[in-house]
Amino acid sequence: MSAAAAPLTPARRLRSIFSGSVGNLVEWYDWYVYAAFSLYFAQVFFPAGDRTTQLLNTAAIFAVGFLMRPLGGWLLGRYADRHGRKAALLLSVLMMCAGSLIITFTPGYDSIGVVAPVLLVLARLLQGLSVGGEYGTSATYLSEMATREHRGFWSSFQYVTLILGHLLALGVLILLQQVLLTDEQLREWGWRIPFAIGALAAVTAVWLRRNMLETETFARSEAVADTAGQQRQGTLRALLQHPRAVLTVIGLTMGGTLAFYTYTTYMHKFLVNSAGLDGQTASMLNASTLFLYMLMQPLVGALSDRIGRRPILIAFGVLGTALTYPILSQLQDVQTAGEAFWLILSALAIVSGYTAINAVVKAELFPVEVRALGVGLPYALTVAVFGGTAEYVALWFKQAGMESGFYWYVTACIACSLLVYLWMPDTRRTSRIDADEARA
């Protein structure tokens, strides 16, 4: 695919940023729908029998998708650095669309036997690859497409759309559960509806992304490489020529991703299992705090454009290290839903210091020829190790009778990331994106 860029007017830049962001929303909606509706389709894909076993099987397949994310970060990051950000983003959303279509139309175990769970695994493999590659490529695209003055603001929409995808998946679940279908209808065929919606939305995202512009930064680097007869980059060997940047991505992600998954994905179970709230109250608290958390991201991103990235990361590191244990301890003994709301919202406000700007910080660490791979692969590996295991580690500590050990574990990981924030330069001032543009 040619990376030749059309004249980049403000309107065309905004449309491209919107297209990239909408595609990210669709990807994360499809990702979360699996977890939201697994209770209903578990019995369809596995032999009749113990309900817990069926749910464990679907959870295991969810984990397989999670483990595919580093591979997706490598494959699509390499593809984006060689063939363009636009091409990789199109491929990413096509894989997500294919995964959703497979789940939508696959017959149950009673009809096709073991082929049913095999196709479910295939669908999650595709979706895991897609999500793994989407992060690095979309972070790179949004950061390169935005102007220097507003790069933190526009790149923050990656997490806006990530959170919105989660909320939309929950919204579809609530709508189908409480308004449109009975429980029996949901279990028989209604669970296929959200996957069909995701597939149709992905088709729309494909259309939007086909009309995106390639970033000027990549287009210029491609033209220079063609003129010089150079081979495309995006290889692991090229990436390892930037060891400090790779280690920085790992270090700054470790505490941030663990805190993010603690206060978002795990929080619903924590409120029910540890704080003793009922499931409906926990769901409302989770949804309402996530919505306000989503609105915080552009504000923090815009602030980073004024004062720099490093002060905001340090604020997250200091506040996270100091307040994680008190917040989680207080949540465990919370007396009212209102008290829980403000505690969770406070925690998410702190985590915004990481989530709103982590994409642009990582993109600003790497040169154009390995940027998508450099952002995507180390991040995906770190998320798989720390974010993907957050719930398991938390429940392990609780089962062992020392739940507070998890609070200290989260605190320690954030403290380790704080050391990285104190050591690293402010990427707003040392941005490799700016260096690439100046060199061009």
pTM for the predicted model, two decimal places: 0.84
The residues spanned by each domain of the chain are 8-212, 242-433
CA atoms within 13 A on the CB side of 234: 24
Distance from C-alpha of 239 to C-alpha of 248, rounded to nearest angstrom: 13
Shortest CA distance to 402 belongs to which of 390, 412, 393? 393
Read off the pLDDT of each residue in 415-427 and give the average, rounded to a whole number. 94
Burial 113-129 (b: 16+ CB within 10 A, else e): eeebbebbbbbbbbbbb
Q: What is the pLDDT of residues 92-135, one digit of tens each?
A: 888 888 888 998 898 887 888 888 888 888 888 888 888 888 88
Judging by beta carbons within 10 Å of its beta carbon (0-12, 13-18, 19+), is residue 282 exposed, middle or buried? buried
Confidence of residue 421 (pLDDT cuts 50, 70, 90): very high
Element (H, E) at 386: none
- Residues 218, 159: Cα–Cα separation, whole Å: 23
Higher per-residue confidence, 293 vs 7: 293
**pLDDT (tens digit, 9 = 90+) per residue, 163-192?**
998 888 888 888 887 788 887 888 888 889
Average pLDDT over residues 284-313: 93
Other Cβ atoms closer than 10 A to 148: 12
End-to-end CA distance of the chain: 21
One-letter amino acid for residue 197 of the chain? I
pLDDT at position 4 over 50: no
Average pLDDT, integer, range 224-229: 51
Class of domain 8-212: mainly alpha
- Quote the pLDDT of residue 419: 96
Q: Which residues make Cβ contacts (< 8 Å) with residue 280, sequence separation at least 6?
A: none
For residue 176, give every residue at least 6 positions away whose Cβ sits within 8 Å of its Cβ, in sequence order, or none.
186, 190, 193, 194
Q: What percent of the chain has pLDDT over 70?
A: 90
Higher pLDDT, 215 or 340: 340
8-212 and 242-433 agree in CATH topology: yes
User: Which of 176, 224, 258, 219 has the alpha carbon at shortest distance from 87?
Assistant: 219
Contact status, residue 421 vs residue 313, Cβ threshold 8 Å = yes
Query: Is 60 exceeded by the pLDDT of residue 5?
Result: no
Residue 317 confidence class, pLDDT cut points 50, 70, 90: very high
What pLDDT was estimated at residue 2?
40
Beta carbons within 8 Å of 81's beta carbon, 6+ residues apart: 232, 233, 234, 368, 369, 370, 371, 372, 373
CATH 1.20.1250.20 fits 242-433, yes or no: yes
Give the per-residue pLDDT at 356. 94
